[in-house]
Copies of this chain bind each other. A is one copy, B any other.
Amino acid sequence: MFRDADLGVRPCDIDAHALHAMILERCRRPLGHEMKNAVQSMYAGIEVLAKSLAAGPAARVSPEQCVMLLRQQLDGLQTTLGRILDDVAPERTATQTFDAAAVLRDLARFLSTDAAVAGVKLRLALPSQALVTARPHVARSVLLGFFLSSIDALRGGGELAIAVREEAGRTRVEFALQRDAGAWPAAQDASSLDARYLRTTADSLLALEQGECTCEMLTESTARLSVTLPSG
């Protein structure tokens, strides 16, 4: 196997993988938050247990109730870790129908602290369900990339409104950006996702799904990004 003369990896795989790793690098803080929150809640659960044992029969929460609580917290932690694993090392999936609204809600939860730290207010206007047909790991990665790129562009203060529109068999996810302080900064933060590489790569990735993405500057302080996929 070490003598293979051909480069087995296709260029589009390289870009898809590179984008994925860039997104992960940018997600170091939100991933850390997610892990820390899950662990902290268990530390708190153990403290409640220690107090319950110390209080004896006078305890407001019995040790047995604490055991139930700890099991639930550990179930939650396990779910969180499974989701992190899926984000970090996604299984390559075939094209299928899935709910893009659920993905967006999950990403908004994942990035809520990140957005708050950047001074970005999130406003979601999502239908209860928005079925699309695509490879889920590609669509999730592209949506996550656009979400992060929007937060980075608004860093310092602004509003990010995310909406979903259905148009003639296609589902369009719109990220509407409004910066508080006027014009966009000229340079990106070093930790930001490279917006142009994201768009170039997302475009070629989405082409395989018959999808597309756009990016428009509307005014000096507003912009709109979109990702369109075939409806499910």
Contacts and interface: CB of A to CB of B under 8 A. Distances in A.
Q: Size band of the A side of the interface?
A: 35 or more
Interface string A17-31: 111111011011001
A35 interface: yes
A25 B21 CA distance: 10
Nearest to A186: B1
Contacts of A58: none
A9 B194 contact: yes
Contacts of A25: 17, 89-90, 92
Contacts of A188: 1, 8
Given A21-B17, A50-B67, A85-B31, A39 B74 contact: yes
Interface stretch (A98-106, A114-122, A123-131, A195-203): A195-203
A40 B90 CA distance: 22
Nearest to A4: B196
A7 B196 contact: yes
Given A14-B14, A18-B17, A28-B91, A53 B39 contact: no
Nearest to A38: B81
A163 interface: no
Contacts of A43: 71, 74
Contacts of A17: 17-22, 25
Interface of A: 1-4, 6-9, 13-15, 17-22, 24-25, 27-28, 31-32, 35, 39, 42-43, 46, 49-50, 53, 63-64, 67, 70-71, 74, 77-78, 81-82, 84-85, 88-92, 152-153, 184-188, 192, 194-197, 200, 215, 217, 223
7 contacts: A1-B184, A13-B18, A14-B14, A14-B197, A24-B89, A43-B71, A46-B67
Given A2-B217, A17-B18, A27-B89, 10 more contacts: A4-B196, A8-B196, A9-B197, A14-B18, A20-B21, A21-B21, A35-B82, A46-B67, A49-B63, A70-B70
